[in-house]
Structure 1
Amino acid sequence: MTETPAPAETDRGRLTALTRLWPFARPYRRLIALTFTAALLASLAQLAVPLLVPPIVEGPIADGDRGALLPLLGLALLFGLAEAALFFLRRWAMNVSSLQIERDLRDALYQRLQRLPVAFHEGWSSGQLLSRATSDVATIRRFVGFGAVFLLVNLITCIVVGALLVAIHWPLGLAVLATSAPLVVFGARWEKRYNTESRLVQDEQGELATDVEEAVQGIRVVRSLGRSGLVFGRYDRKAVRLRELQLGKVRTLALIWCLFEFHPQVTLAMILVGGALAVNSGALTAGALIGFIALFTVLLWPILSLGFLLAQAQEAASACDRIGELLDAELTVTDRPGVHPQPVGTPARLRFEDVSFRFPGTGDPVLRGIDLEIAPGETVALVGATGSGKTTATALVARLYDVTGGRVTLDGHDVRDLPLDQLRRVVATAFEEATLFSMSVRENVTLGRPGAGDAEVEEALRVAQAGFVHDLPWGLDTRIGEQGLSLSGGQRQRLALARAVLGRPSVLVLDDPLSALDVHTEALVERALREVLAETTALVVAHRASTVLLADRVALLQDGRITAVGPHGELLATVPAYRELLSSAPELAGAGEGGAR
């Protein structure tokens, strides 16, 4: 798994993280502006009652004039109704805009994950990716819909109320503003700590999600080995660590909240003492003091919420950083500028021309100077010891990886000069580990060619000897569950093979797709597969004698190099390394007794 980058340490770094949201928020800027405007006006409407208190106390109440009291009370009621209407408008605009942004961000993240190269996914755990696409996106939605709006609204409210307090009685107003300075300094210090703790919690949640996913997908292995306790212990240790990290985060947040709860109480006490002295000296009227206190109470919510809102901003910044790691990841396998479809025959001529490959960040190359030509309609079996680079070589054809030296061509066209959509239509691959999806049999088989007709699907199922699907409860419309775990390994392989041969591609790449089949089924599949191989160009990774015998020629791969190419019988007679491989590999040993097709 890749190392998780450290969280941003500066306010500038956190601000940069949050600016990632702008491209997603920009299409909904009008709704966001409406949300902000409604929230601000509702907040300012709260000032109506405190501002009306002095005229009411010093006018109708002091004079006993009930008639003059009613218009002022009606005005206060009117502001209350306006605040309620603005509250409704703010909630509506907030939910619409934030949910749209969440959807767009999640779509962009999912599309990016689909475009990132296989090498990237091999370096990341699925749990880390899942937590970014779910919990982190939800964190950002909550911040956009609430935190970001009220951080700005509360700041403006504090400025307006502060100015009004100074206008009512400047000594007392300045004293109130002065008490805010320690609040800002202390809050900024603890917010940095909270940011670091939030990132650690989010990363640990990703680790825990990975453990859960692995345990569920590998439940058969875990149960069969009787290792449920071991797997749970591993999970529990991470769960305990997550709990400790979350408790540390809660402690920090509690300290922040304690400060922001304590501040207004102390300030209110100061106002009461100072205000009483001012009234006693005649510098302030009783009505003005009541209005001053009422105005200060309007500040209670902005002050109390500040700790929560700043914490939410830190969590959103961490979430933006984590999502940014995916959105900024390099797309190493992508269409070159200006590429356009090229004519590729069916079958096509496949060539490896001085091909080399090394994985990023590794030392020695996996493949070194491979030269191999497969004529249209020819089948070549690629054999070699474990770790010789067979699977890597086949992955280069469909550009699951890009060569680091030389080139792979189809009918003379470098595969990098073909649009990926075209390349992966003309090259079909069946892997040793069959991957199926939680959808119907038909959808799994036609995944690479959704428009295939029933007759073509049936033909592909016949070639793969997958007629068992008609015995499933709903036939081809039966949903086979996540990863196809409701099927046996051999059944999954046969469906994956049917998916690969559907539509008769220009080039068929088979990475030992028959390894999970019993001998009888394997023989039936091979018999039907010969018809397909006669009409397409095929590169087959062979670990079994019967698979070798399907090929016209065999290529021997040793330490990343092709050391011999020829018919099976010829290599058996003239290449000692090939004979040694056959004798040392039980799966291939039987090939010494037969001949090539």
Structure 2
Amino acid sequence: MNTLFKHTHLHGEVGPSPFGRLMALLRPEKSDIWSVVLYSIGVGALTLAVPVAVQLLVNTVAFGSLLQPLIVLTALLFFGLTISAALRAMQTYVLEIIQRRIFVRVVSRLAHRLPRVRVDVFDRTHGPELVNRFFDVLTVQKVGAQLLLDGLAILLQGTIGMLVLAFYHPILLAFDVVLLILLLIIIFVMGRRAIATSIDESYAKYQVAGWLEEMARHPLAFKLGGGPQYALERADLLAREYLTNRSRHFSILFRQTVGALALQAVASTALLGIGGWLVIEGRMTLGQLVAAELIVTLVVASFAKLGKHLESFYDLMAAVEKLGQLLDLPAERQGGDARTRAKGPARLLVDSLTFAYEGSPPAIRDFTLRIEPGERVGIVGPNGSGKSTLVELLFAMRTPTGGRIELDGVDLRDLRLDELRRTVAIVQGFEMFEGTILDNVRLGRDEITHERIREALAAVDLLDEVLRMPDALNTVLTTGGAPLSSGQARRLQIARAIVGEPALLVIDESLEDIEVRPRRKVLETLLDRSAPWTLLVASHGDDVLARMDRVVRMTRADEESDADDNRNPVDGKERRSHA
């Protein structure tokens, strides 16, 4: 069970062990967990009221006592069992509260961390598939509560029961010691690598789920010739890998279960033989023998459930490890200068910029660019020239490996990220989340009024189209943007960017998907000289580039860059237009 004490992150760093993560997750619930422990101690002690009452009853009947002690004994037993039931109910209630708190705390931590995760994490991992690990919080809730309720009760009942046995006779104390040693062998020796194999099984399960998601995410690709067969073959391969990992884990679990069942049979038989001999020798009473047998029955009956509880514990460790992958995702830098800049377009300086992805040659090498406030600049270049990477660097989603980027004379690395991202807005890729059109534009910026949202939609020629929908601004969009077309969704993203009146607006190849007529309106808005932003547009559209003040041509990092070239590539002449 060495995996209990060490763990390696998905992103390669050594992190806390699964058990350490579990303790950290439960630490805020320490006081309530102690309450559950105290309740369990009470339940465990009161559970032994039955064998003790049986002992007294046997002795009472054997010695022919009066009926009154029997009535008193029965009443006391009823009272004790009633208190035990009440404590059990209180345990259940407290555990329900703990489960709710764990769920809310994990949701809060992830909602805080995921928007701040370094973007390079998603270079290696598909984000939505990784977030599926969140569902392991349900395992932590249910299994954790089960182990605190049943597992703790079994542990305490067994401990108290063996202590009672030890008081009956020294031989039974030796019996307890042997029983404990055998139990430790079953748990630790026979369970070696159980947690590691449980984690491997869980990984394999998520790989299967990830592949099924890929099939649902790309329906067209898997409808092409050969697609359905490939999908089935890949799923079959992943399912076999899961079964292999499951078999390895179950083999450990099965030998532990067999060991526990064997221990149950041996312990019950041994105690009956030892107890009978002690009664014959006059060293124990008949009532003590019956009570001892009942106690051992309670103790060893828990051994029959040991395999199931161990499996639950291993599942809990695997679930905590998966949650750890999310909760420990590396976050963007914190801190920086929180200065508030004056309203108006920003000045941008990109000086000798170099950037390389991990394990790859530079995507951008020694790139320099100067943009004056209010200037409209286009960027053009072949695939792989680093245009999209430059956009992400301007938004501080990535950090340069060489050179610097300055906004109004301040290095981006010295600025607070939240302040920077109020100043700079980018439109890149396709990002629509499930929510209303209003929510998708406002994006939690409560200072943005309803009127400003309508103005932003009108500025991209989308307001009338939205108002014609039955629910207008309250129309709910899916993750893919439906019921909007792709062009409408692009315009909505631009409205989201301009409604905050950024000082620097960066558009990364998002205008080409917009129809010709609304694109003219969008360009008029973006190029309006009264707009409060400096504009940088990466595009291959001749009509877009022709209206820029100047165009910068980016080349691959292994070629000579033309960063300061002011020629417009549409006509090959130097151009400074004033659209």
The percentage of aligned residue pairs carrying the same residue is: 25
1:40 counterpart residue number: 41
Change (3 A) 1:535 1:99: closer
Deviation of the 1:504 alpha carbon: 2.4
Cα pair 1:355 1:407 within 8 Å, conserved: yes
Change (3 A) 1:448 1:148: closer
2:475 counterpart residue number: 478
1:565 aligns with 2:564: yes
1:103 counterpart residue number: 104
Cα pair 1:347 1:535 within 8 Å, conserved: yes
CA distance in 2, matches of 1:474, 1:385: 42
Q: Equivalent residues in 2 for 1:184-583 (5 A)?
A: 184-223=184-223, 227-331=227-331, 333-336=332-335, 339-359=337-357, 361-431=358-428, 433-447=429-443, 449-466=445-462, 467-531=464-528, 535-560=532-557, 562-569=561-568, 573=572
Change (3 A) 1:280 1:201: same
Cα pair 1:344 1:410 within 8 Å, conserved: no
2:64 counterpart residue number: 63
Cα pair 2:436 2:476 within 8 Å, conserved: yes
SS in 1 for 2:362: coil
TM-score (norm 2): 0.90
Q: More helix by proportion, 1 or 2?
A: 1
1:578 counterpart residue number: none
Q: Deviations over 1:277-327 (max 9, x none)?
A: 322232322211111111112213443343333333333233333333443
Q: Deviations over 1:558-595 (max 9, x none)?
A: 123642434444895479xxxxxxxxxxxxxxxx9x97
Q: Deviations over 1:433-483 (max 9, x none)?
A: 321011111111222644322332222222222232223231111101122
AA of the residue aligned to 1:82: I
Q: Deviations over 1:168-214 (max 9, x none)?
A: 13224423541442332133234233212211121122223322333
CA distance in 1, matches of 2:529, 2:497: 11
Q: Which moved more, 1:263-272 or 1:508-517?
A: 263-272
SS in 2 for 1:554: strand
CA distance in 2, matches of 1:374, 1:88: 69
Deviation of the 1:149 alpha carbon: 6.0
Deviation of the 1:128 alpha carbon: 4.6
CA distance in 1, matches of 2:42, 2:563: 80
Cα pair 2:254 2:307 within 8 Å, conserved: no
SS in 1 for 2:2: coil
Deviation of the 1:328 alpha carbon: 3.5
CA distance in 2, matches of 1:439, 1:156: 50
CA distance in 1, matches of 2:243, 2:264: 32
CA distance in 1, matches of 2:228, 2:530: 45
CA distance in 2, matches of 1:262, 1:124: 46
CA distance in 1, matches of 2:454, 2:226: 41
CA distance in 2, matches of 1:249, 1:227: 33
AA of the residue aligned to 1:44: A
Deviation of the 1:221 alpha carbon: 4.6
CA distance in 1, matches of 2:235, 2:577: 52
1:50 aligns with 2:46: no
Cα pair 2:461 2:521 within 8 Å, conserved: yes
Cα pair 2:4 2:195 within 8 Å, conserved: no
CA distance in 1, matches of 2:234, 2:168: 63
Runs of 4+ in 1 over 6 A off after TM superposition: none
Change (3 A) 1:328 1:564: closer
CA distance in 2, matches of 1:189, 1:570: 73
Deviation of the 1:120 alpha carbon: 0.9
2:12 counterpart residue number: none
Change (3 A) 1:557 1:197: same
Deviation of the 1:70 alpha carbon: 0.7
AA of the residue aligned to 1:538: L
CA distance in 2, matches of 1:409, 1:489: 34
CA distance in 2, matches of 1:402, 1:183: 54
AA of the residue aligned to 1:376: P
AA of the residue aligned to 1:12: F
CA distance in 1, matches of 2:151, 2:100: 19
TM-score (norm 1): 0.87
Cα pair 1:507 1:537 within 8 Å, conserved: yes
SS in 2 for 1:497: helix
Q: Equivalent residues in 2 for 1:130-141 (5 A)?
A: 130-135=131-136, 137-141=137-141
Change (3 A) 1:256 1:508: same
Q: Which moved more, 1:246-255 or 1:256-265?
A: 246-255
AA of the residue aligned to 2:480: Q
SS in 1 for 2:477: coil
SS in 1 for 2:443: coil
AA of the residue aligned to 2:70: L
SS in 1 for 2:191: helix
Unaligned 5+ runs, structure 2: 8-15
CA distance in 1, matches of 2:529, 2:498: 7
